[in-house]
Amino acid sequence: MKPSVLIPLSSLVFLVSSKPLANPAGTNARSCFPILATFEELSAVPALPELTNVGFYDYLNYQGFDVLQAGVNAVWPQSGVKVAANAITGSLLHGPPAFIAPSGSFSLASLYFGCVIDTVEAVVGFPESCTIAFEAFKQGKSTPLGTVTKQFNPTGLANNAMAVVEFPDSWTGLASVQISIVGAPSTTALAVLLIDNVAYVACP
């Protein structure tokens, strides 16, 4: 049975208003917008996910991520039928996985993630545990603001719920969040990261 969509309490603002928000500190009075990125409206080619790069979407560049439409899943999307996926092919073609603000900044609240083995096509195959590191950088800063590490632990071979990661309230005015798989049984090169329901405030 597919798990219900759960949004952290801190992210409820993303569901109740589409109006510009008050600007987070350090955003230079830009207009800001709450975003819940689900990737559902993006096109996907099931057999060739590397041809459907997410790219610029909902005010951010989802570097290294491709659009994947899932069927019978090792890991269920948190909502709908599509996720953004990073595999070795996506990293080679488009750069290592990251959320990047092309202009302005953003404040990251939460997201859901899971991992599978081998290539993006293996989303219908085998899930695997993984440890993901998220490293935030402020606008104009080369020193990281902080790092959040979170683990995904599947409980079976199919229909695993994604894990949620919530980010510190201090993660505002960001230029980018760099993402890396820092641990996986099959080696990090063979692990595929799936993400869904990315909640943030964009201040473009």
What's the gap between Cα 102 and its chain centre?
A: 17
The model's pLDDT over 131-175, given as tens digits with 9 standing for 90+, comes to 999 999 998 898 999 999 999 999 998 889 999 999 999 999 999
Q: What is the pTM of this model?
A: 0.81
Answer whether residue 34 is part of any domain. yes
Evaluate whether residue 10 is within a structural domain: no
Give the tens place of pLDDT for each residue, 2-34. Answer: 444 444 434 434 443 444 454 555 545 679 999
Residue 37 inside a domain? The answer is yes
Residue 108 is part of which domain span? 21-203
Please indicate, yes or no, if residue 106 is contained in any of the structural domains.
yes
Whether 15 is covered by a domain: the verdict is no
Q: What CATH number corresponds to the domain at position 149?
A: 2.60.120
Total domain count for the chain?
1
Dihedral of the alpha carbons of 130, 168, 100, 146, in degrees to the nearest 10? -80
